Amino acid sequence: MLKIEHLTKKYGDKTAVDDLSLHIKKGMIYGFIGHNGAGKTTTIKSCCGILQFEGGNIYIDGISIKEDPLACKRKLAYIPDNSYLYEFLPGIKYLNFVADIFNVPKTEREERIKKYADLFELTEDLAQPISSYSRGMKQKLVIISALIHDPKLVIMDEPFVGLDPKATHYLKNIMREICNNGGAIFFSTHVLEVAEKLCDEVAIIKNGKLVISGSMEEVKGNHSLEGIFLELEGE
Amino acid sequence: MLKALIRTRLNALYSSFFYNSRFKKDRNKAFKIVVALFALYVIVSFLFMFGGFFYNICRPMADSGFAWLYFSIAAIMAVALCFVGSVFLTKAQLYDAQDNDLLMSMPIPPGYILLSRIIVLLVLNYIFEMSVLVPAGIVYCANYTPTATGIIVFIVELLILPLIPLTLSCIFGWLLAVISEKVRNKSFITTVMSLVFLGLYLYFFSRINYFLQALIQNIHSIGSKIQSLAFPVYHFGLAISGKNMLSLILFLSGAIIPFAIVYALLAHNFIKIATTKKGLTRKKYKEQPLKVGSVKLALLKKELRRFASSPMYILNASLGAVFTLAFAVAMIIYRGIPDFIVEDFPQIVEYANPLIITMLCFLTSTNFISAPSISLEGKNLWILQSFPVDGGDVLLAKAKMHMVVCLPPVFLASLSCIFTIKLSFAQILLTLLLPALVTVFCALFGVVINLHFPKFDWVNETVVVKQSMSSGIAMLASMAVIAVPAILYVSLFTQKISTDLYMFICAIILIALCLWMYRYLKTKGSAIFAFLGQ
């Protein structure tokens, strides 16, 4: 579903991501772990077509994001690590805007908005301008907008930040549901316990370079993910 | 501690002018000199404007025994200017301050926080006040020999007078804060109120001679009204002109006591004011059928909503559209505008109609809505960059937004010209075509220029709309598009080509430029957009 081949991205002289290769298959929740500034967000933004990169290639469902970015973007959804949204729009207008952009038919968009807004208990607030939302509410809105076009691949950067325990639980269920339906999830997190319980495969990145990747069992063996991570980080 | 707070406030004020947030450093010397020169220009303009006004009323008033009224009128004007100039800042500083939580978490007495804000506002009021009272004082001294007592009283009153507008600003600022939190169509109401204010301002200054005459003719009745209705400013004038100590005490009481009461109330309630969560009553969402639209329409609607959400954006970037509407109305009401031009400038009779068309082109060229539109994406840029939309469509939506706002007033104005002026067939075509083409040119040019001079790291959108390189270039270039062909025609082609033919040639050049920019945005512009913010 998502294939990263020898990805290299530089900011001036600094190499943020160095020859990174990962393969996220259909039906898989893939965790992406690393210290602050390791290159996680750069990798994720490159996968979503937000950042242009110098070396390597990224394929979404077999399509190169360099060659046909629009076709790739139609298949994926991106949840960023911040909740910067159009504050001047009411929540419902933002969701409808996203639905228009992804050409979601009327009945489907109405059904999905109802389903997810009810689930995340945001329905009553959809008429309010986004500027009045709390951080958690904005995060929920971003998640709903990401799910509105039924994406095959969801790429998430720290998706649980700002969410209450209930919403976190529902999001985990949704992630599993997407994978069960043949989709895939690629997400970064600092919460290693969540990654350990949720992910089928995991990759650890340090200073832009892949340190280790594989199934959760292969990576952690008999240790905890936290123990492995700290060991690899040289603590 | 209070000193540190005041210093912080003054530093914030300084940074808003001289700090470059993009490069995280102070602006360079050249920029500071330009700002200082501009400030000097504004101050000198004010001094001359008010100086001229006081020069006209000083002798007639003082000679007829109304010297006190002269100073009272100066005080009223100073209070009005201070109030208008500081009421919105008072609202922002006292009631909407973003750093209250941070400051109150520190071991600082709340009274100090309030006092530091009030002192900065007072400094600002002194600047406004002096631009009125200093010329009033100079004009009086130039006409009459002042006494030492008179000068001392004047200085004391000069120092105390700003407390009156400050008291009023505190009260109205609070009212504004309460109203703006409760009202839903905030940006619409703010825009309408600002336009009404601008209209009144223009009306007042267009009739300033009439008001001056009326003031001098009705000096007795105006004097008695001020005496009965505005006792602090009455005693302000009386204390200076008559060296009346009782009046001085009454004025000082009238300025200080209300201020002290308001300050005491604010200090007592400061924590409540700063911590009360203001907000609209929650509007509950009721499920309703959603409207489905195309990608291009969705992008355009989003741009229009963005535009409509900010009165500052509307008032600064689309004032030309308002003036174009006013032009349309004026053409209908005063059907003789061309005759008026012809009567005053008989030598340009044959150019009257082309001049009207040029004027319309100039009015619409002052709009620069699209010029800051890419920068205004700010931290939201990720949304459009991660969506499956062509960058060219995103950019064109911004240009279309400019056209949607500006073209209707242009067409109304064109139609009003066609129906009220005698135009040849060619001129009718030009009246419809040329102003519309200038509008399209400005719309596309604004986006092209912003694509090359974007600024995404802004904290306050005012910086992008009013002070960005993109807006500046767009404004100058749009004016040049009108001025350069006009100057070229006057200096080179008057004897060679008719104005109509020349304007058609300009129209063809504009069409070619618009087509080129359209293509540029769809191709290269789209590629540049993908790299923005990296």
Phi and psi at residue B287, to the nearest 5°:
-60, 135
Exposed/middle/buried for B195, CB within 10 Å: 0-12, 13-18, 19+?
middle
Residue A74: closest C-alpha in chain B: B388
Q: How many domains does chain A have?
A: 1
Q: Is the pLDDT of residue A99 over 80?
A: yes
Q: Is the pLDDT of residue B212 over 50?
A: yes
Stronger pLDDT, B2 or B74, i.e. the higher one: B74
Residue A97: closest C-alpha in chain B: B298
CA distance A70 to A73: 5
CB-hemisphere CA count at 13 Å for A44?
30
Residues B447-503 have pLDDT tens digits of: 999 999 998 888 778 778 887 889 989 999 998 999 999 999 988 887 888 999 999
Q: Do A101 and B389 touch (CB under 8 A)?
A: yes
pLDDT of the residue at B504: 95
Query: Read out DSSP for B433-477?
Result: HHHHHHHHHHHHHHHHHHHHS-----SSHHHHHHH-HHHHHHHHH
Q: Is the pLDDT of residue A105 over 90?
A: yes
Residues B299-322 have pLDDT tens digits of: 999 999 999 988 889 988 998 999
Q: Do B388 and A88 touch (CB under 8 A)?
A: no
CA distance A8 to A17: 5
What contacts A61, CB < 8 A, 6 or more positions away? A1, A72, A75, A152, A153
pLDDT of the residue at B216: 74
Instruction: Find the chain B residues whose C-beta atoms sit closer than 8 A to any C-beta of A.
Output: 279-280, 282-287, 289-295, 297-299, 301-302, 305-306, 309-310, 378-380, 382-383, 385-390, 530-531, 534
Q: Do B388 and A109 touch (CB under 8 A)?
A: no
Stronger pLDDT, B93 or B415, i.e. the higher one: B415
For B180-236, list the strands marked E by DSSP. none
pLDDT of the residue at B404: 97
Least Cα separation, residue A234 to chain B (angstroms): 31
Instruction: Please give the average per-residue pLDDT across B21-48, as a whole number.
Output: 73
Choose the mutation target among B383, B457, B461 for the interface with A, i.e. most A CBs under 10 Å.
B383
Residue B278: closest C-alpha in chain A: A132
Contacts of B286 in chain A (CB under 8 A): 127
Exposed/middle/buried for B350, CB within 10 Å: 0-12, 13-18, 19+?
exposed
Contacts of B285 in chain A (CB under 8 A): 91-92, 123-128
Q: The domain that contains A24 carries what CATH number?
A: 3.40.50.300
pTM recorded for the entire structure: 0.78
DSSP, res B109: -
CB-hemisphere CA count at 13 Å for B268?
6
Q: Which of A206, A202, A164, A150 is nearest to A37 (CA)?
A: A206
Residue A84: closest C-alpha in chain B: B380
Nearest by CB to residue B385, choosing from A50, A109, A132, is A50
Nearest by CB to residue B282, choosing from A51, A70, A128, is A128
- In DSSP terms, which residues pair with B235 in a beta bridge? none
Residue A133: alpha-carbon gap to chain centroid? 22
Residue A11: closest C-alpha in chain B: B534
Least Cα separation, residue B467 to chain A (angstroms): 22
pLDDT of the residue at B205: 67
Residues B89-117 have pLDDT tens digits of: 777 777 777 677 777 778 888 778 888 88
Helix (H) or strand (E) holding B322: helix B319-333
Q: Which of B250, B205, B209, B46 is nearest to B138 (CA)?
A: B46
Q: Is the pLDDT of residue A17 over 60?
A: yes
Contacts of A70 in chain B (CB under 8 A): 388-390
Instruction: Please give the average per-residue pLDDT across B321-344, as a whole number.
Output: 79
Q: Is the pLDDT of residue B22 over 50?
A: no
pLDDT of the residue at B64: 83
Contacts of B283 in chain A (CB under 8 A): 127-128
Stronger pLDDT, A31 or A219, i.e. the higher one: A31
Q: Supply B35's token pair.
A: 């700002």
Choose the mutation target among B98, B190, B386, B393 for the interface with A, i.e. most A CBs under 10 Å.
B386
Report percent pLDDT > 90 for chain B. Answer: 40
Q: Is the pLDDT of residue A138 over 90?
A: yes
pLDDT of the residue at B519: 97
Q: Do A123 and B285 touch (CB under 8 A)?
A: yes
Note the residue count of chain A.
235
In this structure, the number of other CB atoms found within 10 A of the CB of residue B56 comes to 17
Q: Supply B393's token pair.
A: 């469509």
Q: Is the pLDDT of residue B200 over 90?
A: no
pLDDT of the residue at A151: 95
Nearest by CB to residue A106, choosing from B290, B388, B531, is B290
Residue B370: pLDDT band (50, 70, 90) is very high
In this structure, the number of other CB atoms found within 10 A of the CB of residue B148 comes to 8
Instruction: Please give the average per-residue pLDDT across B236-243, as a whole number.
Output: 84
Average pLDDT of chain B, as a whole number? 85
Tell me how far apart the terminal alpha carbons of chain A are, to the nearest angstrom: 34
Strands A153-157 and A184-188: parallel
What contacts B218, CB < 8 A, 6 or more positions away? none
CA distance B403 to B215: 45
Per the CB < 8 A criterion, the answer to whether B407 and A72 are in contact is no
Stronger pLDDT, B238 or B361, i.e. the higher one: B361
Residue A128: closest C-alpha in chain B: B283
Q: Do B386 and A78 touch (CB under 8 A)?
A: yes
Least Cα separation, residue A87 to chain B (angstroms): 9
pLDDT of the residue at B219: 76
Q: Do B386 and A114 touch (CB under 8 A)?
A: no
pLDDT of the residue at B20: 52
Instruction: Find the chain A residues whose C-beta atoms sit closer than 8 A to any C-beta of B.
Output: 45, 48-52, 69-74, 78, 80, 82, 84-86, 88-89, 91-93, 96-103, 105-106, 109-110, 113-114, 123-128, 132
Nearest by CB to residue A48, choosing from B289, B379, B386, is B386
Q: Do A127 and B283 touch (CB under 8 A)?
A: yes
Q: How many CB pairs under 8 A join A and B?
A: 100
Q: Is the pLDDT of residue B359 over 80?
A: yes
Per the CB < 8 A criterion, the answer to whether A117 and A108 are in contact is no
Domain that holds residue A219: 2-234
Q: Is the pLDDT of residue B206 over 80?
A: no
Least Cα separation, residue B312 to chain A (angstroms): 14
